[in-house]
Chain A
Amino acid sequence: MAKEKTVLTGVHFMSGDIACAEGAIAAGCRFFAGYPITPATEIAEHIAARMPKIGGVYVQMEDEIASIAAVIGASYAGLKAMTATSGPGFSLMQENIGLAAMTEAPCVIVDVMRGGPSTGQPTLPGQQDVMQAKWGSHGDYEIIALAPSSVQEMFDLTIEAFNLAETYRVPTMVMADEVVAHMWEKLVIPPAEEIKIVNRKRPNTPPEQYLPFMPEDDLVPPMACFGEGYRFHATGLTHDEHGYPQTQSSEAQTKLVQRLCDKIRKNADKIVRFEETMVEDAEILVVAYGIVARAALSAVRKARENGIKAGLLRLVTLWPFPEKHIAKAAEGAKAIIVPEMNCGQMVREVERTAKETSVFHLSKLGEEPPTPMEIFEALRRHSK
């Protein structure tokens, strides 16, 4: 359609929310269903302005339950689809996030985290939904969640989220926070041909032989879409390779649920992303993500200036959690500090994997993320 560009190659000054919307469009997202909520509304507003010009659909649904349901429908009809929300909306979406996991619908959910619980502090940042991202829906399943810490990453990781969702047929979350979403920074959008785009695996069997939930070696089944003549069934009930309900068979339940978990767990090495700064010789580590990782980087640099052998391990994927790397980094460290805008969530994962090393949580709620000074003080205290 037209001259309207889908990839706005160039150097921009942009907000995180708008960068996220542009990342989605660059990734090939052509369906967005959402419901207004602070601090994610700008994503919807920007997409509403852009989609009609590039032949995509923006639809404002009656609530977040409908938004995620429509996203799953659009995904099954063959489009790359997304929704964006914040805590209260994320809670409403949980049941259908389970449906997306169960029916292996590739889709992206952006949660711009604000202060909770309940209505909480709508305009202030939080990192209180990171466990909910993993455990929010009932039953056993795995998802992928990424945590951007800059406007650039709001763009880059939204593309990455689509690529991962399409590769593994799994709901993938971009767990942003209010600061990253609302701040304005430089954003470099590369030429379209330099952006890596992944599309879901398609069946190469004729419709009569197609088994919609028969996995290949990577544990992911190729995906046909509605209207292509495959005429297949999908259900939120436990199902076999045909997609037919198997509500009484322990074997079917074990086989399906274990595979839904394993397709992420066994591919974790390919999915996990993190960033290490001065970790090699570090005696004390900071593990952080999102906007907090930026303050942590300043704190680590300041610590080094003050003779403290500090290092930073920044989580880019929250889920799957980079267990091996945390365990390895922890080996040489005396202590690990985990600053978070919650009362202690990812710190539990760090404690679980770091084993012998002492882990300290630095909690901060409300208006601003932990400052570099606060994290530096913690480094000084625990390096003694």
Chain B
Amino acid sequence: MTETEAFEHPFAKYLRAAMMPHIWCSGCGNGIILNAFVHALDEMQMDLNKLVVVSGIGCIGRAAGYTNVDSFHTTHGRPIAFATGVKLAKPELEVVVISGDGDLFAIGGNHFIHAARRNIGIKVICANNFNYGMTGGQVGPTTPLEALTTTTPYGNIEHPFNLVHLAAASGATYVARWTTLHVRMLAISIKKLLQREGFSFIEVVSPCPEIFGRRNKMRTGLEMMEWFRKASVIENFSDPAKAEITPERIVVGEFVDVEKPTYEKLLHDKMAQILKESED
């Protein structure tokens, strides 16, 4: 018998060991997203004392608690509104929202479009698993047409959101979409997301084999990843309006990367101007 020496995982410091094991199903993409996020933090040597991770309700919502930084798990749909308060109160903090498609675009859709419009410097990572996984697989704002869920037992008749198009149209200054198959691109993209000043958004198409996949002929994580592999095409800076997700085609890549003054900067400038006028 050989002695094996226990050594710490290089990313251990980024995670809260006390919160493990995580609640996610095997084959779920959420772990890959968290991994890519932590990878980006590590590469950037991010000051963990200056990072806040906020999430809403849903499977990926637990990511905030798993990350070993200041973190807050809000009510359903409200992480962006909460994060707005944090960012405006302490603009020096890096504020990241990690949440799901239902949380951010159904119940919380209003907050997303307005935070993007204001260009508040918060960074949003959305795990798009095409349904409400935590509550057992109901139809959501990104469920593809005809997909089967527990509340669309005869096939979905709602048109899904194109999240990157919505984000771009709402004013986000950095917009990208990847699948969990594109781990390297995703980590690089998250780094960019963290480096940008303005409202930035990454959609991560993520397998939910346990709840969504098994009703839609993709029983395992592997089968869902196989779909991503076959269907995805990288079309950087193509028109986000045309970046569809269909059984045949998943358009991924970076769609928007522009600079625009953030709300915090304009607020700061306005204060300085008022102050100067009052002194003159």
What is the interface of chain A, defined by CB distance below 8 A to chain B? 1-4, 30-31, 33, 52-53, 55, 57, 59, 61-63, 65-67, 69-79, 81, 95-96, 98-99, 103, 226-237, 242, 244-245
Query: Main SS of chain B's interface residues?
Result: helix
Give the chain A neighbours of B114 by CB distance below 8 A.
61-62, 66
CB distance A63 to B278 under 8 Å? no
CB distance B48 to A231 under 8 Å? yes
Contact of B145 with A by CB under 8 A? no
Report which of A52, A70, A75, A95 forms a contact with B270, defined as CB distance below 8 A. Answer: A52
Give the chain B neighbours of A230 by CB distance below 8 A.
70
- Chain A, Cβ-Cβ closest to B264: A57
**Closest chain A CB from B110 CB (angstroms):** 5
CB distance A231 to B78 under 8 Å? no
CB distance A66 to B89 under 8 Å? no
Report which of A31, A63, A78, A245 forms a contact with B88, defined as CB distance below 8 A. Answer: A31
**Closest chain A CB from B92 CB (angstroms):** 7
CA distance A74 to B90 in the complex (A): 8
**Closest chain A CB from B41 CB (angstroms):** 13
Q: Which one, B79-87, B199-207, B228-236, is touching chain A?
A: B79-87
Given A226-B52, A235-B65, are A73 and B82 also a contact pair (CB < 8 Å)? yes
CA distance A230 to B51 in the complex (A): 11
CB distance A66 to B18 under 8 Å? no
CA distance A59 to B263 in the complex (A): 10
Query: Main SS of chain A's interface residues?
Result: mixed
- Chain B, Cβ-Cβ closest to A212: B70
Q: Which of A79, A99, A227, A242 has its CB near the most chain B CB atoms (within 10 A)?
A: A227
CA distance A234 to B86 in the complex (A): 14
Q: Which 4 A-B pairs have the closest CB atoms?
A: A73-B85, A70-B85, A69-B81, A77-B89
Given A73-B83, A231-B49, A245-B65, are A4 and B73 also a contact pair (CB < 8 Å)? no
Report which of A30, A227, A245 forms a contact with B49, defined as CB distance below 8 A. Answer: A227
Chain B residues numbered 77-109 whose CB sits less than 8 Å from any CB in chain A:
78, 81-90, 92-93
CA distance A225 to B190 in the complex (A): 26
A66-B81, A66-B110, A77-B52 known, 8 other contacts, Cβ within 8 Å? A3-B279, A4-B278, A30-B89, A55-B271, A73-B83, A73-B84, A77-B93, A227-B70
Give the chain A neighbours of B83 by CB distance below 8 A.
73
Contact of B166 with A by CB under 8 A? no
Given A4-B278, A62-B110, A65-B81, are A227 and B93 also a contact pair (CB < 8 Å)? yes
Contact of B267 with A by CB under 8 A? yes
Give the chain B neighbours of A81 by CB distance below 8 A.
85, 89
CA distance A245 to B111 in the complex (A): 25
CA distance A62 to B112 in the complex (A): 10
Contact of B64 with A by CB under 8 A? yes
CB distance A234 to B71 under 8 Å? yes
**Closest chain B CB from A313 CB (angstroms):** 38
CA distance A69 to B108 in the complex (A): 12
- Chain B, Cβ-Cβ closest to A63: B110
Q: Can you list 15 A-B pairs, Cβ within 8 angstroms, ordered by A?
A: A31-B89, A55-B271, A57-B88, A57-B89, A63-B110, A66-B84, A73-B83, A73-B89, A77-B86, A96-B75, A231-B70, A242-B18, A244-B16, A244-B18, A245-B65
- Chain B, Cβ-Cβ closest to A30: B89
CB distance B85 to A72 under 8 Å? yes
CB distance B65 to A233 under 8 Å? yes
Give the chain A neighbours of B19 by CB distance below 8 A.
244
Give the chain A neighbours of B278 by CB distance below 8 A.
2-4, 53
Contact of B50 with A by CB under 8 A? yes
**Closest chain B CB from A290 CB (angstroms):** 29
